[in-house]
Chain A
Amino acid sequence: MISGLTLGERQTAVCLSLALLVLGVIFAGAGQGDPLGVHGFIIAAYAVVVMGAVITGYYAPAPGADRLTQYYDDPTKFGIIVAMLWAIFGMFVGDWVAWLLAYPDMTFDAAWASFGRLRPVHTTGVIFGFGGNALIATSYHVVQRTSRARLPDQLSPWVVLIGYNLFCLLAVSGYLIGITQSKEYAEPEWYADILLVIVWVTYFLLYIRTLARRQEPHIYVANWYYMAFILVVAVLHIVNNLAVPVSLTEAKSYSLFAGVQDAMTQWWYGHNAVAFFLTAGFLGMMYYYLPKRAGRPIYSYRMSIVGFWGITFFYMWAGSHHLHYTALPLWVQNLGMTFSVMLLVPSWIAAGNALMTLNGAWTRVRDDATLRFMAMAAVFYGLSTFEGSFMAIRPVNSLSHYTDWTIGHVHAGTLGWVSMIVFGTFYSLVPWMWKVERMYSRKLVEWHFWLAMAGTLIYVFAMWNSGIIQGLMWRTYNDGGTLAYSFVDSLVAMHPYYIARAVGGFLFFLGPVIGLYNILMTIRLSRETAGTGIAEMPVVALKAGE
């Protein structure tokens, strides 16, 4: 991978990692006695690893000028592997904490092993580690093909990936040693947040610079979604993380907002992290890889436009449905409910557009597990957006909120939609990237698909059951007019569902383990058949409106 960089780029890379090393050492020194110091050591060690990798390849022959006639795919390859590693790590931790809820004594009397610290390790690991790396890796691939242009330079895609993974590492290690802001899905502290802003600005500049070089007059729909993902996540991240650190040598900070304003800002962020991280970005992925794999053009240009702008506009109003019946003023709750219901329209337009694209290719969905992953992803996207709009209605929410139903809903989206679109994409993309005809084993892809299906269904059904039972037990009255069940009664009733959920999660976790093996074996296959594999996929991009 270093051999693809020019000598100048290698020198800049060494300088950048040296700067990171210095920063790490300063943090380690200044933060002595505070958890920040531990993070200083982690930053420094990370910088040494990166620098070591660059120096090891430093004296490799410089790449020829012909590289500029080809797309730059090394960062995409790296991102795919890293995303799979995060998937395995994040899903393992997720399943572990699922077992903790059934068997709470598996904590070794250690702070880092308790549920409260491990739970954000799971959510960050899968959302940002797995999801984020998959989005960045595929966005590099998609923007080049649909623009018929090479990335403008070879260093900034690496800066984004390396910096982004440092952010994920700081986040995950931070929770284990007790660093968190407690804002859900925005837990990392101020210095990690600043790092992410730098990474994100680099990412946005890289993206629009590539688009500016495009040979296609029109920007393809997949790029609209990737752009919305990059831009809106930046706005959300900056606003929600505004905080005052206790000092520059301590990790702890206090959020700028308090109480009801903080709650609204947090769920404006939280719900739109779902919208623009877990939906928009992956819709971008779907809009490129699903038609490619199916060999069919996108069904409707008009539906693409309406779906995109509907999602971009409506989602931002919906966050307050997380705060029904709370101390948030009623008018905001009602606005959130209204827009959440309206949101179903653009969501189903996007899902329908994907499924209609498959018309004429249904036999391939039957035979090809890779395409089936993407088709099921579109189905789960449609199902979970319907469920989401439904749960945002106040009386429904009075039952579902605070229960496991929410957890089931989230996982219908993240397992059924997000993970499946990623796996379908990766199984298409890996043979293209490593220039082999197909994945090492089709049978393992088939196995992965059915493990994912079984895992998702078991998980979601278990959580539907436990959530609705919980909600009903909390509000059931005796004939005498008093509450029928204590809280502990409802907890005891959850036990079998918690075990079922953990089993479902385990099945799902096996998927990426098999997947990573299959991908690594495909790469090995490509080494053995070097030069004899198929040529670059066709460079002509799908045009919007086709």
Chain B
Amino acid sequence: MFTRTHYKLERHTIGFAVAIIVVSAIGGLFEIAPLFTIDETVETAPDMRLYTPLELAGRNIYIREGCYACHSQMIRTLRDEVERYGPYSLAVESKYDHPMLWGSKRTGPDLARIGGKYSDAWQVAHLYNPRDVVPQSVMPAYRWLARNKLRTEDLGRHLIAQRRVGVPYTDDMIAHAEQDAKAQVDPDSDNAEGVSERYGEATHVRAFDGNPRDVTEMDALVAYLQILGRLTDAAYQNKDKGE
């Protein structure tokens, strides 16, 4: 019976094409569409803060260098992972991540809670040559990050694009994007206060690579690494230890 029906269907090109579209669309509609409408999918975290322009630039360097190919940012709800890396990741922690960087492979360790675990100096030394601080490491050396000046004049446009996809950057943040990026590495400058005003008192304002005058790509990447897992306390209030 069904072979006979199919025998007719395969005589019609357009009908067959439509059938493929319909049959293949069902799975995605059932699994993806509800994620946008069911409120419990993403927890609420009133203390959730935004990436500063410098941290966002660092995140873009993380993407550019393909760090996600070897490092995940998603601690699973398993006991050994919670003990190794910290409280398991919540959906809200990446709600402003366009795109998410959960990763799929751990050639190196998970980085979801790396922020604050090591000093800036350690991160800089490690990125400069990982084997100086971890002799067995197989991570590439990223020396050029210390040499490259960070491009800052386009950061305002980046914040505008972020706002278009739903991240609540204010006009004030957009107008001061370039200034804030420079001030975040120069705590003694007049503009440093503005960074904390706009992005919260917990924002790290310091010379990440040790030099407050130039904003390098190293500054940006280390600023980003130091904020990972620190955008909200929601996960730390969760006492569930995992399976």
> Once bound together, how far apart are the Cα atoms of A178 and B102, in whole Å?
20
- Decide if B76 touches A325 in the complex (CB within 8 Å): yes
Q: Which residues of A contact B11 (CB under 8 A)?
A: 217-219
Task: Digitize A258-291: 1 where CB-to-B-CB distance is under 8 Å, 0 elsewhere.
Answer: 1111111110100000001000000000000000
Which of B's residues lie within 8 Å of A, judged by CB? 2-3, 6-7, 10-11, 13-14, 16-17, 20-21, 23-28, 30-32, 35-36, 38, 40-42, 60, 63-70, 72, 74, 76-78, 80-81, 83-84, 88-110, 130-131, 134, 136-144, 154, 157-158, 160-162, 164-167, 243
B11 to chain A, nearest CB (A): 6
* Chain A residues numbered 456-475 whose CB sits less than 8 Å from any CB in chain B: 474-475
- Decide if A246 touches B65 in the complex (CB within 8 Å): no
Q: Which residues of A contact B108 (CB under 8 A)?
A: 487, 491
The answer, among A101, A245, A328, for a CB contact under 8 Å with B107, is A101
- Decide if B27 touches A339 in the complex (CB within 8 Å): yes
The answer, among A110, A119, A319, for a CB contact under 8 Å with B66, is A119
A387 to chain B, nearest CB (A): 17
The answer, among A219, A232, A264, A483, for a CB contact under 8 Å with B35, is A264
- Decide if A231 touches B99 in the complex (CB within 8 Å): no
> Once bound together, how far apart are the Cα atoms of A326 and B158, in whole Å?
29
- Decide if B3 touches A305 in the complex (CB within 8 Å): yes
> Once bound together, how far apart are the Cα atoms of A474 and B41, in whole Å?
29
- Decide if A336 touches B31 in the complex (CB within 8 Å): yes
Q: Quick check: is A114 within 8 A (CB to CB) of the other chain?
A: yes
> Once bound together, how far apart are the Cα atoms of A439 and B32, in whole Å?
49
Q: Quick check: is A367 within 8 A (CB to CB) of the other chain?
A: no
- Decide if B98 touches A256 in the complex (CB within 8 Å): yes
Given A111-B144, A219-B16, A253-B161, the answer on whether A491 and B80 have CB atoms closer than 8 Å is no
Q: Which residues of A contact B35 (CB under 8 A)?
A: 260-261, 264, 329, 332
- The segment from A179-187, A372-380, A445-453 found at the interface with B is A179-187
How many interface residues does A have (CB within 8 Å)?
A: 101
- Decide if A335 touches B31 in the complex (CB within 8 Å): yes
> Once bound together, how far apart are the Cα atoms of A184 and B69, in whole Å?
8
Given A258-B100, A335-B31, the answer on whether A407 and B94 have CB atoms closer than 8 Å is no
> Once bound together, how far apart are the Cα atoms of A508 and B143, in whole Å?
33
Q: Quick check: is A69 within 8 A (CB to CB) of the other chain?
A: no
Contacts A258-B165, A314-B27, A315-B24 known; 10 new A-B pairs at CB < 8 A: A101-B138, A107-B141, A217-B11, A218-B11, A254-B158, A259-B92, A263-B102, A265-B32, A313-B23, A402-B110
- Decide if B42 touches A259 in the complex (CB within 8 Å): yes
Residue of B nearest to A179 (CB): B64
